[in-house]
Structure 1
Amino acid sequence: MTPHTGLLCYCRAGFEPELAAELTERAAQAGLAGYAKAIRGEGFVRFLGVPGEALARALPLRTLIFARQALALLAELRGLDPKDRVAPVLDALSGHGPFGALVVEHPDSDAGRPLAGLARSFGNALRPALRKAGLLTAQDDARRPRLHVCLLAGDQLLLAAAPHEASPWPLGIPRLRLHPEAPSRSALKLEEALLVLLDADERARLLRPGMRAADLGAAPGGWTWVLARHGLRVTAIDNGPLRPHLFDTGLVEHLRADGFTWQPPRPLDWMVCDMVEQPRRVATRIAQWFREGWCRQSVFNLKLPMKKRWEETVLCLALLRDQAAHPLTLRARQLYHDREEITVFATRAAP
């Protein structure tokens, strides 16, 4: 067993360097000295050298962009005997707990996905043993920390605890299914964004039937469809066609126009944008909408370059803040349904 102090973060495979750069910069800004361990393609990053609880407080998941999940790292176990993986876990957790729930998972990577079956069977064996040892409550208890076991191989795993603000979903991935009426898979991106970037109270308050929205670059209509399902009246801006069934709701108006030049005749509640364009151009356009007072909230995507993606992210968000002419609240995340992009929620900051 190797005791560790630090943070365990899951991410999209291939974006480990971006997450490592983000954690390193953010920790330094918080006055915490540590170092990142990351290998491209593994689907996770460890930031070591600082107690995980301190890192979780300084770098809560809601403020991180390239992390899907952020956990306080407890220990790493190597060389496990396949005949008895349970006993070493019990030994490593001595002095911890009791935990309120157990999650046994694996990185979302090419190497991690084949471990799904082992994760299920190991969880079934570990759960009663933890309860017998007094390390896990008899029933799930959301008031206590959640124990995460991350399998890296048949003989190697990481132990971590979920802070209060950790993602509630395994691996930080909400399981969404594409509705048969959705015009495109891009609908899943906006559905996930509304789940991850807004809390339940904000969704109830900011997505009320009768509100008005614009969807820039709407074709074929995935994001328009999501907004209309919430009862919003949507002006879909795109020179391309929309799926015909979108108009059956009576909530959608299609204008054949350029999303970079069209402007609404009156202020709207929402503007959403998933246009394939240079990220700085998109950030500049979003800033214009807030500067002119054309919308109150926005969800949009920034398509990132192949290199220096963390640096481009920082630059684009700073550009947006500088050019909006009003203080903004920004939340950004690389979602499960994102690819070479991040999704951002922006709204005017409260006075």
Structure 2
Amino acid sequence: MRDIDPAQPDPGTVPPVSGLLCYCRPGFESDLAAELTDRAAGVRVAGYAQTRRGDGYVLFHSDNGPALTHELPFRELIFARQKLMLLAELRDLNPSDRITPIFEALAGRGRHGELIVEHPDSDDGKQLAGLARSFGNALRPALRKRGFLSQKDEARFPRLHVFFVSGTHAFIAQSVVGDSAPWEMGIPRLRTHTEAPSRSALKLEEAFMTLLTERERNARIKPGMRAVDLGAAPGGWTWVLTREHMRVVAVDNGPMQADLLDTGLVDHHRVDGFRYQPVGPVDWLVCDMVEQPRRVAERMATWFREGWCRHAIFNLKLPMKKRWQETLLALDLFANNAGEHATLTVRARQLYHDREEITVYASVE
């Protein structure tokens, strides 16, 4: 087999494809497809979505993939766990030699700084985990030998993704560090805390990790800050805040875990979260109440309009249908009713630990 210069196209290269490959929670493919379609139209980049329910990913075909990935920053996408720029689609792969077609697809694509071999986070996709792991171990040194991959991981080059949807069908794509999720399959690996009152603690931990930059976390999450947790019982989100040594008013008619109250950092108010008003402004408001998303968004807007909080993380529980449309309505309602601020930052994402909901981070300066 002759060597291929990664800097030069090869006459036998696999026909390229163009567009985006985005991962999502299985069952939310149509919502991500609707989001990509609307956002692409908003930046005047033509294209169309291709997906199937339960696959855990969406293809968005466009003749101008580089422009599309530039115009749709990953941080602004809500239903995408990961955003990749498509390079090639490989069908009918020979199980005895899957590497040669990848070499051909990468000819002329330059060098990459890291290899990630993945599969969909779906019932069928999880059966490919063993293949992805073993194939990655074989492909990595082969790519380095040919010059397609740096000798060690380097963030200055794009990351190369090989995404298997079956043993004979894969997509080749790339991501840019800083404009994509840093985790394999777009899934952060968080440790379950047995001492936490509920698994919902993972939602707030992931929200802090995903929706805030490192600089924002360092500046906005500090010991001694004051917080309010609406719909707090049994205390999963309050527990996360107390681990940051914040003082928390936990608002819920239900009982809180006794260990939380023993910390001396928690004041439990048995009142309706939609009626509670703080005595004075607080640093953080968090809310995971089960209620219609527009009602929650309106109440969160009241907290910002009245100056009751500076930062917030809240969940919006979505309906079974038209979830993208409901998301837009709720976020617009919040932004339009949050009052006049020099800067109002709003970011939203369906987190890995979310289910039928999205998580919103809002902040004013």
TM over 0.5: yes
For the residue of structure 2 that corresponds to 1:4, the secondary structure is: coil
Amino acid at match of 1:227: L
- For 1:131 and 1:93, the matched residues in 2 are separated by 12
For 1:196-207, list aligned pairs within 5 A.
Answer: 196-207=210-221
Shift of 1:104: 0.2
Which residue of structure 2 lines up, in the alignment, with residue 330 of structure 1?
A: 346
- 1:299 match: secondary structure: strand
Q: 1:215 and 1:296 mapped to 2: Cα distance?
A: 14
Match of 2:253 in 1: 239
**How far off is 1:110 after superposition?**
1.3
* Alpha-carbon distance between aligned partners in 2 of 1:227 and 1:54, rounded to the nearest angstrom: 40
How far apart, in 2, do the equivalents of 1:104 and 1:26 lie? 28
1:47-86: CA deviation from partner (whole Å, max 9, x where unpaired)? 1123322111100110000001001110000000101111
Q: Which moved more, 1:115-124 or 1:174-183?
A: 174-183
Match of 2:314 among 292, 300, 321: 300
TM alignment of 1:104-119, pairs within 5 A: 104-119=117-132
- Which SS does the other structure have where 2:262 is aligned? helix
1:341 to 2:357 alignment: yes
Q: Give the alignment's TM-score, normalised by structure 1.
A: 0.98
Aligned to 1:173: 187
Which residue is equivalent to 1:10?
Answer: 23
Dislocated runs of 4+, deviation >4 Å: none
1:2 offset after TM fit, Å?
4.3
Distance 2:264 2:68 in 1: 49
Q: Quick check: 169-178 or 263-272, which moved more?
A: 169-178
Superposed CA RMSD in Å reads 0.9
Match of 1:193 in 2: 207
Provide the residue aligned with 1:56 in structure 2: 69
> What amino acid is the match of 1:347?
S
* Match of residue 251 from structure 1: 265
Q: Distance in 2 between matches of 1:324 and 1:7?
A: 33
TM-score normalised by the chain length of structure 2: 0.94
Please say if residues 201 and 239 of structure 2, whose CA atoms lie closer than 8 Å, have aligned partners that are also in contact.
yes
State the shift of 1:249 in Å: 2.3
Residue 208 (str. 1) matches residue 202 (str. 2): no
Q: Which string of whole-angstrom CA distances, capped at 9 and with x for unpartnered residues, describes residues 75-127 of structure 1?
A: 00000010111111111101112100000000111111100000000001100
> 1:100 touches 1:142 (CA, 8 Å); kept in 2?
yes
Q: Is the 8 A contact 2:293 2:318 kept in 1?
A: yes
Q: Is the 8 A contact 2:252 2:273 kept in 1?
A: yes
- Corresponding residue for residue 166 of structure 2: 153
Hey, what's the Cα distance between the residues in 2 that align with 1:326 and 1:169?
36
Aligned partners of 2:45 and 2:64 also within 8 Å: no
Identity of aligned residues (%): 63
The answer to whether structure 1 residue 267 and structure 2 residue 277 are counterparts is no
| Counterpart position of 1:41 | 54
SS in 2 for 1:250: coil
Within 5 A, what are the aligned runs for 1:94-113? 94-113=107-126
Letter in 1 for 2:363: T
Q: Quick one: distance in 1 between partners of 2:60 and 2:84?
A: 10
Counterpart-to-counterpart distance in 2, 1:223 and 1:247: 14
Residues in 1 aligned to 2:133 and 2:257: alpha-carbon distance in whole angstroms: 41
Match of 1:67 among 63, 66, 80: 80
- 1:38 Cα deviation (Å)? 1.3
Secondary structure of 2:330's counterpart equals helix
C-alpha separation in 2, matches of 1:325 and 1:202: 22
**Structure 1: where are the runs of 5+ without partners?**
none
Residues 52, 71 of structure 1: 8 Å contact kept = no
Q: How far, CA to CA, are the matches of 1:97 and 1:215 in structure 2?
A: 49
Any idea what the Cα deviations from partners look like across 1:16-42, whole Å, max 9, x if unmatched?
A: 111011001011110111111111110
CA distance in 2, matches of 1:248, 1:32: 56
Q: Provide Cα deviations, 1:227-259, integer angstroms capped at 9, x if missing partner.
A: 110111100000100111112322111111110
Matches for 1:304-315 after TM superposition, within 5 Å: 304-315=318-329
Distance 2:215 2:258 in 1: 33
Counting matched residue pairs gives 349
